[in-house]
Amino acid sequence: MSLTDLTLQGARDQLASGAVSSRELTEACLARIEAVDPQLNAFLSVTAERALTQADAADARRASGDGAPLLGVPLAIKDVLCLTGTRTTAGSRILENFVAPYTATAVQRLLDAGAVILGKLNCDEFAMGSSTENSAYGPTRNPWDRERVPGGSSGGSAAAVAARLAFGALGTDTGGSVRQPASFCGVVGLKTSYGRVSRYGLIAYGSSLDSIGPLARTVADAALLFGQIAGPDPRDATSMPTPVPAPDTWHDDLRGLRVGVPREYFIDGMQPAVERAVHAAIDHLRALGATPIEISLPHTEYALPVYYLIAPAEASANLARFDGVRYGPRAESEALWDVFEKTRGERFGAEVKRRIMLGTYALSAGYYDAYYGQAQKVRTLIKRDFEQAFEQVDVIACPVAPTTAFKIGTKVDDPLAMYLEDVFTLPPSLAGITGLSVPCGRDDAGLPIGLQLLGPAFGEAQVLRVGHAYEQTTEWHRAAPAL
Amino acid sequence: MFRMSLTSDEIDHIAALARLSLTDDEKSRYRQQLSAVLDYIAKLGEVDTTPIPPTATVLPLRTVLRPDRVRPSLSVPELLANAPESEADMFRVPPVLDGGADG
C-alpha cells in the first residue's frame, strides 16, 4: 500500500506514531499529483514549495510535542476559497491574475489545526454548474472514467480525493456542489447547514445558500474536517454560535432511528441502478435497526424553479463587483461604462453570463414580485416541508442525483438538462439543512452511486453518525479508481 | 403573471442592466435558452402563496454585535495589488463623464 492510499485518519495516526513524517506524506501527494493529475485536471494550482515548508514546520511542531488535530496532513481547497498569496481564480478568466490578499476563515482553521495545503482545486466558474465543465481552465475528468464529468461544481475537490491526490478537500455547496460530485466520484461529501461554517473569504455566489463543506474518503475523515472548520466567526455575521458536536460519538447500532424515505425523490426517468442502490441502502439501514418511514415533501418539484430564480438573482448582485477596476484584467476602452461591459462580456463564461442575465431579469422592475418574490414564498413552503418531516423522522434517506456521472459535453449546451441534475440536492439547500453523500453502489458501467442522508439544520452529528454506521458495514467507500 | 418568452429588446435591456456586452450570437442563444428556462419556471405560478411570508434567510433573525474597536486590516498596497491600474493610493479608471473642455 502506498502512503497516498491511507485515509485521513490513517495518515493522522501514522504521523502521531512517528511512522511517517509530514514531509514524506506531502512529497507522496505531490508526486502523485504530478503523475496522475495531467489526466484529471483536478488542480488549478499546486503550491508545492509552500506545502513542503508547511510540512517541515509541522514536523518541527510535532518534534516539540505539538499534537494539533490535523498536524502535517496534506489537504487541498476549492479555488473559490481565498488563501493569502495564492492565485484564486474561482475557475474564471475574470480573476485569472487574482492573488488573494487574505485567507478564508475555513482555510485558516485548517492551517491552525496544522494542515498542509497542497493547492487549489478546479471548479465550475464561480461555482455555477454541475459538471466542472464551466471552468475557464478546462473540465476536470472523473477518475473512474476520464470520458465523464466528476460532477460539480466542486468537481476538482471530489476527483482529487477519489484519485488519492489529497487526504481530504474543502468544497462549497450552494445547490448540490459538494454532494453531487462526491456521489459521482465515489467519495464522502458533507453539505453543512447554512450558517454552520463561516463564509468569510469565500468568493460569493448565492449568499443565502452558500455553504462550505469537506470531501473525504470516509465519513470519519469528513467529520474530522467538519469539526475543525465549523463554528462562529466574528467576520461572518451569519455564522451561528450553535455548539459544534464532537465528531467521535459513533454507534453502529441504529435501533430506534426513524429514517424518512420521501416518495417525491424516486421519479420517472431516474437511472434504475441509482434507484435500486438507494433502496438497497435503505434496507441496509433497516438491517442495522433503523425504521424506514415513507414521507412526503410535497413542494419538491418547485425547488428547481425556486433555486434558478434565487441563486441567479443573488449571483447577479454578487458578481457586480467584477468590473475591471479593483481586480484585473481589464478590457481597454476610452469610457468607463465600456470598460465594465467589455471586461464582463469578454471575461465571464457562458453559464455565468446566462445566470447573471436570468438573475438581472428576475430582479428587474415589473418582474420582481412575480419571480423573485414568488420564489421566496415558495422557498418558505419547501423549508416547512422539511420542518414537518423532521417532526416524524430523525434523518431522510434519498438519492443524491438521478443519474451517475454523464459524458463530458452531453449537457453543456442544454441548461435545463444540466439543472435537472440538481433536482434532489436543491430542496435541502433552499431549506438550509445539512446533507451527507455516502457511496452506496455502482451502476453497470462501474460508476459510483451516492446515498444522500439529510438532517435538520445543525444536525450534522446525526447524519454523520448514520453515514458512519452505514459505511462501517459496507465496502463501497473502499474501492479506488484505477489510474 | 409569468412571461414565457423574451424579445430581443428585452435581452438588450437586461444585458444593459447587467453591464454585459454580448455578441449577436450570444444574444440570440440567451434569448432562446432563457425563454426555455422561464417557461419551466412558470410552474411556480401554480402555487397559492397568498398567506405565505417570503424566506430571505433560513436563519433566525438576530442582532450581531461586536465591540466598536479599531482592528488590524489590509494595507493600501495590499488592497491595490490586484488592480489593473492605480495611482496615489487610488484605483485609476478611464473618465466617468464625457470630457467637455472643463473636464
Residue in A319, A377, A412, A430 to test binding to B, most B beta-carbons within 10 Å? A377
Q: Which of A92, A130, A135, A153 is catalytic?
A: A153
Pairs across A and B, CB distance < 8 A: 165
Strands A188-191 and A211-216: what pairing?
antiparallel
Q: What is the pLDDT of residue A247?
A: 59
Residue of B nearest to A196 (CA): B59
Q: Residue B24: exposed, middle, or buried by beta-carbon count in 10 A (0-12, 13-18, 19+)?
A: exposed
Domain ranges of chain A: 3-255+459-478, 301-373
With DSSP H G I counted as helix, E B as strand and the rest as coil, what are the percentages for chain B, rounded to 5? 35, 5, 60
Question: Are B64 and A97 inside 8 Å of each other by CB?
Answer: no
pTM of this prediction exceeds 0.95 = yes
CB of B31 within 8 Å of a chain A CB? The answer is no
CB of B76 within 8 Å of a chain A CB? The answer is no
Q: Residue B16: exposed, middle, or buried by beta-carbon count in 10 A (0-12, 13-18, 19+)?
A: middle
Tell which residue, A27, A114, A124, has the closest CA to residue A68.
A114
Confidence grade of residue B90 (pLDDT, cut at 50, 70, 90): very high
> Looking at residues B63-80, what average pLDDT do you find?
93
Question: φ and ψ at A297, to 5 degrees?
Answer: -120, 85
Active site residue A153: yes
Residues 122-181 of A with CB under 8 A from B: none
Question: Are A380 and B55 inside 8 Å of each other by CB?
Answer: yes
Reported ipTM: 0.92
Residues 411-450 of A with CB under 8 A from B: 415-416, 419, 431-432
Residue B103 has pLDDT above 80, yes or no: no
CA angle A347, B27, A359 (to 5 degrees): 70
**Which grid cell sits at A292?**
424506514
The residues pairing with A262 across neighbouring beta strands, listed in sequence order, are A295
CATH of domain A3-255+459-478: 3.90.1300.10
Residue B71 has pLDDT above 60, yes or no: yes
Q: What is the pLDDT of residue B61?
A: 87
CA angle A253, A214, A355 (to 5 degrees): 125
How many Å lie between the alpha carbon of A409 and the closest alpha carbon of chain B? 17
Question: Are A301 and B83 inside 8 Å of each other by CB?
Answer: no
Active site residue A207: no
CB of A242 within 8 Å of a chain B CB? The answer is no
| Segment holding B33, helix H or strand E | helix B24-41
The answer to whether A215 and A154 are in contact (CB under 8 A) is yes
CB of A380 within 8 Å of a chain B CB? The answer is yes
**Which grid cell sits at A199?**
463564509
- The Cα–Cα gap between A272 and A266 comes to 10
Task: Give me the residue from A308, A361, A373 closest to B54, CB to CB.
Answer: A373
Per-residue pLDDT of chain A (483 residues; tens, 9 = 90+): 799 999 999 999 999 999 999 999 999 999 999 999 999 999 999 999 999 999 999 999 999 999 999 999 999 999 999 999 999 999 999 999 999 999 999 999 999 999 999 999 999 999 999 999 999 999 999 999 999 999 999 999 999 999 999 999 999 999 999 999 999 999 999 999 999 999 999 999 999 999 999 999 999 999 999 999 999 999 999 999 999 887 556 777 899 999 999 999 998 889 999 999 999 999 999 999 999 999 999 999 999 999 999 999 999 999 999 999 999 789 988 899 999 999 999 999 999 999 999 999 999 988 899 999 999 999 999 999 999 999 999 999 999 999 999 999 999 888 888 888 899 999 999 999 999 999 999 999 999 999 999 999 999 999 999 999 999 999 999 999 999
Q: What is the pLDDT of residue A417?
A: 85
Domain ranges of chain B: 8-46
- The Cα–Cα gap between A340 and A362 comes to 21
The answer to whether A325 and B86 are in contact (CB under 8 A) is no
Task: Give me the residue from B18, B40, B52 closest to A381, CB to CB.
Answer: B52
Chain B residues inside the 8 Å CB shell of A361 = 6, 10, 14, 34, 38
Active site residue A353: no
Residue B101 has pLDDT above 70, yes or no: no
Q: What is the pLDDT of residue B102?
A: 47
Please determine, looking at this structure, whether the domain spanning B8-46 carries the CATH number 1.10.3470: no
Residue B98 has pLDDT above 70, yes or no: no
Chain A residues inside the 8 Å CB shell of B87 = none
- The Cα–Cα gap between A308 and A36 comes to 36
> Looking at residues B22-27, what average pLDDT do you find?
97
Strands A116-121 and A43-46: what pairing?
antiparallel
Q: What is the pLDDT of residue A74?
A: 98
